[in-house]
A and B are shown apart, each in its own frame.
Chain A
Amino acid sequence: MVPAIALITGLLHLDVQGMTAVLLLQSLWTGGIGVGFLRDPKDAWARPGRPDNGAIA
């Protein structure tokens, strides 16, 4: 929880250990989104009611 709170408050001293904690949390988040994409490549994270799925005309 210390890195988590520090991320919000900005009190974390970002030495190598602190930066590793930040990267671990970020990797969990981005990796999780990535897994979501692979599980449903067509519709993952698509906003409901947006049939074009983010396509740019």
Chain B
Amino acid sequence: MDSVIRGRLAGISLIVAAVFEVFAMAHHPTITTPNIVDAIQQIRRARQLDGLVHGVLMALLLIVLYGLSEFILRRDVSRPAIRAGLIAYGSGVLFMLGAGTVSGFILPDVLSLTPHTSATDLDINLQVIFLCRALNQSCANFATVGYRRGSFSGLAIYCAAKPDGAGRWELQDLSSAWFLRSPSLRVCYISTFKE
């Protein structure tokens, strides 16, 4: 495929996915009560919306990965740091898909299938909610820290570094790599640079 078409496709994918990610996240259902009975009812009522929001977010993660694959190819995937970034980012996406599956599909499905009439049922449901919450948080934390620290900093530094591999830096390169100005990336950049 022509590089112009590939570039346009990647650009549109990344921009559309970025916009819709924020839009979908704004519709993420939340539990507003500490009461277990009410919480179960809220989760059951929001089951379809939960599945839709998480399904859309998971699809958008893959679309972003597709767009970034063009970026990675252009930065030269044969370079070790780019490959390392790709592996870190890819594993982060996998774990984020896991977090979305637990939160968006497994928990609502389990709560819709299990009884919650007796005190024992409610205790079991509470344990299930805790388990799903721990799984979701573990996966999301791993994904967030892993793929940002790994790929963002790795890719950003190697985007800004001189291609001759001499380890020298040019102010012009750094200022042109404008995406480094994002606060999180700047911290990533500083953190990795110190290492």
Give CA–CA (A9, B30) in the complex, Å.
Answer: 25
| Inter-chain contacts of A48 with B (CB < 8 A) | 163
| Contact between chains at A29 and B179 (CB < 8 Å) | yes
Q: How many A-B residue pairs have CB under 8 A?
A: 147
Q: From DSSP, what is the main secondary structure of chain A's interface residues?
A: helix
B interface residues, Cβ below 8 angstroms from A:
3-8, 10-15, 17-19, 21-22, 25-26, 28, 30, 64, 67-68, 70-71, 73-77, 137, 140-141, 144-145, 148-149, 152, 159, 163, 178-179, 182-188, 191
Number of interface residues of A (CB under 8 A): 45
| Contact between chains at B188 and A44 (CB < 8 Å) | no
Q: From residue B166, how far is it (CB to closest CB) to chain A in Å?
A: 13
A interface residues, Cβ below 8 angstroms from B:
1, 3-5, 7-10, 12-14, 16, 19-20, 22-38, 40-42, 44-50, 53-56
| Inter-chain contacts of B191 with A (CB < 8 A) | 8
Q: Give the 8 A-B CB pairs with smallest separation, nearest first.
A: A34-B14, A37-B11, A41-B7, A54-B73, A31-B18, A27-B18, A38-B11, A34-B15
